[in-house]
Structure 1
Amino acid sequence: DNEWVGATDMVIDPHNPEILYAVTWQRQRTVAAYLGGGPGSGIHKSTDGGETWTKLTTGIPKSNLGKIGLAISPFNSDVIYAAIELDRKKGGIFMSNNAGASWVKQSDAVSGGTGPHYYQELYASPHNEGKLFLMNNRVIISDDHGKTYRQMNERNKHVDSHAMAFKASDPNYVLFGTDGGLYESFDLTKSWKYIRNLPITQYYKVAVDDMEPFYNIYGGTQDNGSHGGPSRTTSSDGIANADWWKTLGADGHQPATEPGNPNISYGEFQQGRLWRIDNVTRETVYIQPQGKEGDPTDRFNWDAPILVSPHSPTRLYVASQRVWRSDNRGDDWTAISNDLTLNQDRITLPMYGKQQSWDNAWDVGAMSNYNTITSLAESPKQEGLLYAGTDDGIIQVSENGGDSWRKVSLGKIRGLPAIPFVNDVRADLFDANVVYAALDNHKYGDYKPYVIKSTDKGSTWSLINGDLPKRLLTWRLVQDHIDKNLLFLAAEDGIYFTKNGGVNWMKLKGGVPTISFRDITIQRREDDLVAASFGRGFFVLDDISPLREFNASMNSVEATLFSIKPTYWYRESNRVGSQGDAEYIAKNPPFGAVFSYYMPEKLKSLKDIRKEREKKGNTNFPGWDALRAEKNQQGPEVLLLIKDSSGQLVNTVNGTNNKGFNRVNWKLDHAGKRGERLGPPSEQQNFSGSGGVMVTPGEYTVTLVKRVNGNSTVLQGPKSFKVVPMYEGSLPRKSFEEINNFRNESVSFQQDLNAINLMLAKNLKQVDAMKRAADKATNSNPSLLTRINAARMALLKLDKELNGDKVKGEIGERSESTPNNAAFIGRVALSNTYGPTGNHKVALTTAKSQLSKIKAQLSALNANELSAIESDLKAAGAPYIEGQGLIKN
């Protein structure tokens, strides 16, 4: 019943599931301190499936026990092992040979690193009796029931292991879960394989730069350093692990970037160990502020804040218990405040509900300093208006660049806890009087959301939680730079946004997992929302402008088409292919122009309408006519019609028909006009050259259309947008007029080529059918078979001229040049932004001449001999041949 005690490990007797062994652990961790043991810690046994328990004490030390890990021998279920933390990070491996009745200490082995409380999981090998694995910063292995031990080989493996698994069928296989991810060994830890396709990085914080054409994302991670990487790439595959780079090691925390200069960024280790990073050379310069002789020791938070001033890109602010300022990117620093915290001795603060003895299980070595500044902000509207939030319930305000500070004790504000942790303080982007903060009190058992706002520079505050869930940790928030009432909140179970300044909140979905998001920012040039999750990497919501434009009146119209961003014109490239699935590759944003639209209700088919009606009452038979109408109806469609600046239709894109927000992309291609086969769309995939070629830059429009029962109606539009070149190549490209002229000529040629190929293939099938029909004719005529054979030979000759020599093809010998060669030339000439060369044009001209001759011969053959043979077959009483037209009496 002790509120400070919880159960942390349990094992089950493999031969009797009624026998359980469990450990309890007494501890408390506040923002200030950590007590990791007490009389509530111990080992317990149940023989009735957990109904009753007995504490096992014989041979167990009587000191303040800390964290305990348990394992049961797979060879003898009476043998139990325990890794026990004792006073001041000491401990040992204990063993019982009599099902826990008594225990013997085997050795002093105990997890170390950041402290036993971070590890202590114990595993017994199912393949080697007495072999134990103790999770640790570097795993401890014993081969003799814990009496002696050694460190496991961790070369090329991340340290800090917390979990492992064995394979019953393979004694050499082990799988480890670490701070760096999953590793497996097939030779019992001699070598390691990293599982590289799991996006499970835990990011504390995020920053973005303004690199062109694609910005970079930076983040600091839990024990995996700090990283930088592109928001998208030109690869059609996406964003690969190799596109990212490591900026710093250790635990990464707050990153920062320099506006207007993507070559400079900042990062830090734990406790404010700050570095400036040259993104060109990848060199780092240590720039943590250093106090003068006689200054107090600086207490930096585990995740100390970095702020680049919105008024000068070379001005930095960082904070310990005091605020520091640099005007030369961290080369020199000046303290601009005294201690802005409560400045307490954390050992004097109550734990377990009262002040604790020095002899108790204190351990503050692997946690943050206390009484520290955790967040900084400067008003973009008023230079020198600074805010500093602390871990002990204070927001300090300076209106003169740090010359003086005004203290706001948050615990005195109605509705707020006594000493909330200030996760974030954000100055309003539009009004110097307005400031926001996100607070947190979960380490004192309070899981309520606390998002607050001041309209008088922090003098008074009000909650803007609105209708947020009642149990929700609030980490960080960001204000939209266009709509002052549009706020985004990074929270413990996802991302929320408000359109009305916090009165109402809505959770973002669309692929966002239910997981902790610790930070959030907006890349303003692209209008992208970028969020750092604590366990699933980064998430990006491309282009939040539809959220700005959305309003309640849009629910009263059938659909709303939102504004379209300028679209980059470039060609995606390909990586080295066929690399398997071992690497994680993130998707790029959709290529081309992205269209967003809102529909308060989806377009409904007759079947949809009937099913909705049936949900409301009795299910009546609708009648055969109604069911027949449902079956014959083509489902309602949403289409987007793209036109060029002259009003000519360029392409039609199929949209999605979903209630709410919809988003589709146009890949900047012309509609494929090279012919359509009879049959469903699935049969078009292998039709040569069925796709359209890329458009050239310019002004375009898009119109949102619905098509119901064959009738098309404009829902909204047209809306204009631009397609712009992303970059200039090494050589000057051809003019857009020249590219478009070649495209028109090439597409026209391709259309003819495909039509002739289809006709030729049809004719070859036709003469085969004619031969079979002639054999069945009532009045068979040998001369008719001779004519059919002659027609067949003429068609085969044309096929050779069009598609190459099939006899040579059987052994791989090359044929003479055919018009099909130019089809390839046309495609590759238009597969880049450079444009057609003279060589391309010559090839197309030659192929057009060849094709023209073949076309003339094929047309004559169809108009004359094949038509005549068909008439003569009918006259001879031959059976019907597919394609002849309707049968006449």
Structure 2
Amino acid sequence: LSQQIDRHTLPVMGKIWSVDAIAYDASTSNYGNIVALDESPLQEGLLFAGTDDGLVHVSGDSGANWKRYENFPGIPKNTYVNMLVASKFDTQTVFAVFNNHKNGDFKPYILKSSDQGASWQNISGDLPERGSVYCLAQDHVNKELLFAGTEFGAFFSYNGGENWKPLKGGIPTIAVRDMAIQKRENDLVLATMGRGFYILDDYTALRAYNPENLDKEAYIFPVNSGLSYMQASPLGYEEVGFQGASYYFDKNPENGVQVIYYVKDEVKSLKDKRQAREKETRESNGSISYPSAEELRAEDREEKAYHLFVITDASGQEVSRFSEAASSGIKRVNWNGRMSSITSVSADGSPVTKANEANLALPGTYSITLYQSKDGEIRKLAGPEEFELNWLDHGTMPAEDRLALAAFQKDLEETRRKIVGGNNFKNHLEKRIEKLKANARNTPGVPLSVLDSLRQMEYVIYNLEVELNGDRSLAKRNFDTPPSLMRRIGGAVWNSYYTTMAPTGEQQKNLAIVKQQLGDLIGKLADLKVKTGLINARLIQAGAPYLDDELPENP
């Protein structure tokens, strides 16, 4: 199947070399090897073979007979056939990758035949002029989606090779020598020259990549079904536990749903716009004007732009929100498949914030919508885009009635919201009473009896602390103490939110106890709020300093 070329008769660097040339046979092709072979996935026995001396042969009878092809448009004679790929969609189409770098030719060569090799067309498109191609793969869903590995990285084409785009996202500038597609997960696996393996997790979005979508202001690519589960910890803790750095492991893809989205334009801040204008003025040898005081204040006060993602269930009920810093291009964000917790708030990283997580959202149909905030002005960019959320269902004792489980967890979260709010307010009152006592001690003319009243309120706070968080006086001395309300609700939350089993009797009992005592606790806190308010009014009237949350009266 080869030309039977004697490599010892071919000039190297302009002349024929003798047997004493250093590593002569180690550095040249054998010229007689079959170096590329593929069988059609649609027709058994339809074989395509390529050789290191530039030939392609086709057999339709498992190799008993072959058709030979040796002339290819735009390909120098005797060019190494690096790979042949039979189409996954029809028996007539085959792709050929030629590589001529051994002859100092580093151009990309990718050909396509639609008639089993009888004729060929070049589909290298707009690949970089310098960058030999080593491998190619065709998507198993969209026949126009192709991947190519070159000397300087990986590329993909969304239109059958007419146009090519680089694949980046962490891949170094390195030769990609081979690639494979994991069909079940839609992953692209790359093998590089000296830099290991790289995996592009779930490239499904590339199937919808086209200029029409990318010309929109923003676009959410079709979202694959997501999978929620409780991740096992076989080593006792997350990752390698106590096994040490020499214990090999790799992280799983993130739990939940991967969402790939596109934003066309970068959001420019006032400062960005000013600096761009000044740069343009400098480059045109113009005169720059110093910003006014109003302009500088506006720059300092402007809120950073961010993107807000809203997850909604099939009934239109929002179940989760989270935000990311505003940026342009193709991006990926993950929803972990859990409801947003309503029990606490954190402004860390503001304006990019995220609620704590609660229980798993039920399997079903959800949608995601993308909003953009620019200095507080919120507007929708894209969506809603629907997707399915599933549970792995590998639990030992999964709940038979998932709706009942969800109802219990909703009740649990609402009760937790109130008990946590009550505990936070108790802490606030404790600090407020401490400040009121200082005001009463330090302000001339305030009746000293106020100090006694405030001290009695502190004792009420102490008792509420025991009820809410436990008796620390006894606990630190190793006495057995009854479980506190926060411990009861925390245990019920942990044991319910991080399993898929039905609520246990203990969880239901703890929830019932907390709900039963919650009303009395909030009533006592409300009474303290009124009493501290009255005392503070007396202190203000006597000329005491205002507290942090007090607004002075209008003069």
Normalized against structure 1, the TM-score is what? 0.57
Aligned-partner Cα distance in 2 for 1:813–1:606:
61
Residues 339 and 358, structure 2, Cα contact 8 Å, conserved in 1: yes
3-state SS, counterpart of residue 655 of structure 1: strand
For residues 428-454 of structure 1, the C-alpha deviation after alignment (integer angstroms, 9 at most, x for no partner) is 233433211111222333333221222
3-state SS, counterpart of residue 38 of structure 2: strand
- TM superposition shift of 1:481: 2.4
Q: Are residues 1:718 and 2:377 paired?
A: no
Structure-2 residue corresponding to 1:447 = 106
- What are the within-5 Å matches in structure 2 for residues 783-794 of structure 1? 783-794=449-460
Structure-2 residue corresponding to 1:479 = 138
Q: Are residues 1:470 and 2:129 paired?
A: yes
- When residues 525 and 445 of structure 1 are mapped into structure 2, their CA distance, relative to the original with a 3 A threshold, is same
Aligned-partner Cα distance in 2 for 1:785–1:593:
57
Structure-2 residue corresponding to 1:372 = 33
For residues 510-543 of structure 1, the C-alpha deviation after alignment (integer angstroms, 9 at most, x for no partner) is 1111111111122233322221112222212222
CA RMSD of aligned residues (A): 2.9
For residues 466-489 of structure 1, the C-alpha deviation after alignment (integer angstroms, 9 at most, x for no partner) is 222232221110112233222110
1:605 maps to which of 262, 269, 293: 269
Q: Are residues 1:846 and 2:507 paired?
A: no
Aligned-partner Cα distance in 1 for 2:187–2:425:
51
Matched positions, count: 544
2:343 maps to which of 651, 654, 674: 674
Residues 656 and 663, structure 1, Cα contact 8 Å, conserved in 2: no
Q: Are residues 1:592 and 2:256 paired?
A: yes
- TM superposition shift of 1:414: 4.6
Of residues 801-810 and 564-573 in structure 1, the stretch that sits farther from structure 2 once superposed is 801-810
Residues 818 and 847, structure 1, Cα contact 8 Å, conserved in 2: no
Structure-2 residue corresponding to 1:857 = 524
Residues 386 and 398, structure 1, Cα contact 8 Å, conserved in 2: yes
Structure-1 residue corresponding to 2:235 = none
Aligned-partner Cα distance in 2 for 1:635–1:783:
51
Aligned-partner Cα distance in 1 for 2:458–2:479:
24
Residues 435 and 455, structure 1, Cα contact 8 Å, conserved in 2: yes
Structure-2 residue corresponding to 1:883 = 549
3-state SS, counterpart of residue 390 of structure 2: strand
- When residues 645 and 500 of structure 1 are mapped into structure 2, their CA distance, relative to the original with a 3 A threshold, is closer
- When residues 614 and 836 of structure 1 are mapped into structure 2, their CA distance, relative to the original with a 3 A threshold, is farther
Runs of 4+ in 1 over 6 A off after TM superposition: 365-369, 682-685
Q: Which amino acid aligns with 1:724?
A: N
- What are the within-5 Å matches in structure 2 for residues 153-232 of structure 1? none
- What are the within-5 Å matches in structure 2 for residues 716-795 of structure 1? 716-795=382-461
Of residues 745-754 and 706-715 in structure 1, the stretch that sits farther from structure 2 once superposed is 706-715
Q: Which amino acid aligns with 1:712?
A: I
Structure-2 residue corresponding to 1:490 = 149
Q: Are residues 1:516 and 2:175 paired?
A: yes
Structure-2 residue corresponding to 1:415 = 74
Q: Structure 2: where are the runs of 5+ without partners?
A: 233-237
Residues 84 and 97, structure 2, Cα contact 8 Å, conserved in 1: yes
Aligned-partner Cα distance in 1 for 2:384–2:261:
13
- TM superposition shift of 1:359: 6.5
Aligned-partner Cα distance in 1 for 2:367–2:80:
50
Q: Which amino acid aligns with 2:498?
A: S
Residues 397 and 405, structure 1, Cα contact 8 Å, conserved in 2: yes
1:692 maps to which of 346, 352, 358: 358
Of residues 527-536 and 562-571 in structure 1, the stretch that sits farther from structure 2 once superposed is 527-536
Kindly indicate whether structure 1 or structure 2 has the higher relative contact order, using CA contacts under 8 Å at least 6 residues apart.
2
Aligned-partner Cα distance in 2 for 1:643–1:611:
40
Structure-2 residue corresponding to 1:615 = 279
- When residues 745 and 341 of structure 1 are mapped into structure 2, their CA distance, relative to the original with a 3 A threshold, is same
Q: Are residues 1:395 and 2:56 paired?
A: yes
Aligned-partner Cα distance in 1 for 2:277–2:352:
38
- What are the within-5 Å matches in structure 2 for residues 272-421 of structure 1? 340-343=1-4, 371-409=32-70, 412-421=71-80
Aligned-partner Cα distance in 1 for 2:478–2:289:
66
3-state SS, counterpart of residue 616 of structure 1: helix
Q: Which amino acid aligns with 2:46?
A: L
- When residues 358 and 536 of structure 1 are mapped into structure 2, their CA distance, relative to the original with a 3 A threshold, is closer
For residues 80-128 of structure 1, the C-alpha deviation after alignment (integer angstroms, 9 at most, x for no partner) is xxxxxxxxxxxxxxxxxxxxxxxxxxxxxxxxxxxxxxxxxxxxxxxxx
Structure-2 residue corresponding to 1:645 = 314
- When residues 790 and 349 of structure 1 are mapped into structure 2, their CA distance, relative to the original with a 3 A threshold, is same
1:577 maps to which of 238, 241, 250: 241
3-state SS, counterpart of residue 855 of structure 1: helix
- When residues 659 and 576 of structure 1 are mapped into structure 2, their CA distance, relative to the original with a 3 A threshold, is closer
Aligned-partner Cα distance in 1 for 2:535–2:220:
57
- TM superposition shift of 1:351: 5.9
Q: Which has the higher helix share?
A: 2
3-state SS, counterpart of residue 501 of structure 1: coil
Aligned-partner Cα distance in 2 for 1:479–1:497:
10
Residues 602 and 658, structure 1, Cα contact 8 Å, conserved in 2: yes
Residues 399 and 405, structure 2, Cα contact 8 Å, conserved in 1: no
For residues 590-635 of structure 1, the C-alpha deviation after alignment (integer angstroms, 9 at most, x for no partner) is 3321111112212233333333333322533343323322322222
Residues 546 and 552, structure 2, Cα contact 8 Å, conserved in 1: no
3-state SS, counterpart of residue 537 of structure 2: helix
3-state SS, counterpart of residue 69 of structure 2: strand
Q: Structure 1: where are the runs of 5+ without partners?
A: 1-339
Structure-2 residue corresponding to 1:804 = 470
- TM superposition shift of 1:424: 0.5
Aligned-partner Cα distance in 2 for 1:631–1:814:
55
Q: Which amino acid aligns with 1:429?
A: K
Aligned-partner Cα distance in 2 for 1:711–1:824:
38
Q: Which amino acid aligns with 1:871?
A: A
Q: Which amino acid aligns with 2:503?
A: P
Structure-2 residue corresponding to 1:635 = 304
Residues 602 and 657, structure 1, Cα contact 8 Å, conserved in 2: yes
- TM superposition shift of 1:662: 1.4
- TM superposition shift of 1:357: 5.0
- When residues 737 and 362 of structure 1 are mapped into structure 2, their CA distance, relative to the original with a 3 A threshold, is closer
- TM superposition shift of 1:741: 1.2
Normalized against structure 2, the TM-score is what? 0.89
Q: Are residues 1:526 and 2:193 paired?
A: no
Aligned-partner Cα distance in 2 for 1:860–1:420:
90
- TM superposition shift of 1:798: 1.0
Q: Which amino acid aligns with 1:467?
A: D
Aligned-partner Cα distance in 2 for 1:709–1:845:
45
Residues 307 and 326, structure 2, Cα contact 8 Å, conserved in 1: yes
- When residues 754 and 360 of structure 1 are mapped into structure 2, their CA distance, relative to the original with a 3 A threshold, is closer
Structure-1 residue corresponding to 2:332 = 663
Aligned-partner Cα distance in 2 for 1:861–1:472:
76
Q: Are residues 1:832 and 2:491 paired?
A: no
- When residues 885 and 800 of structure 1 are mapped into structure 2, their CA distance, relative to the original with a 3 A threshold, is farther
Structure-1 residue corresponding to 2:367 = 701
Q: Which has the higher strand share?
A: 1
Residues 776 and 879, structure 1, Cα contact 8 Å, conserved in 2: no
**Identical columns (%):** 35
Aligned-partner Cα distance in 1 for 2:31–2:217:
56
Of residues 342-351 and 597-606 in structure 1, the stretch that sits farther from structure 2 once superposed is 342-351
Residues 32 and 53, structure 2, Cα contact 8 Å, conserved in 1: yes
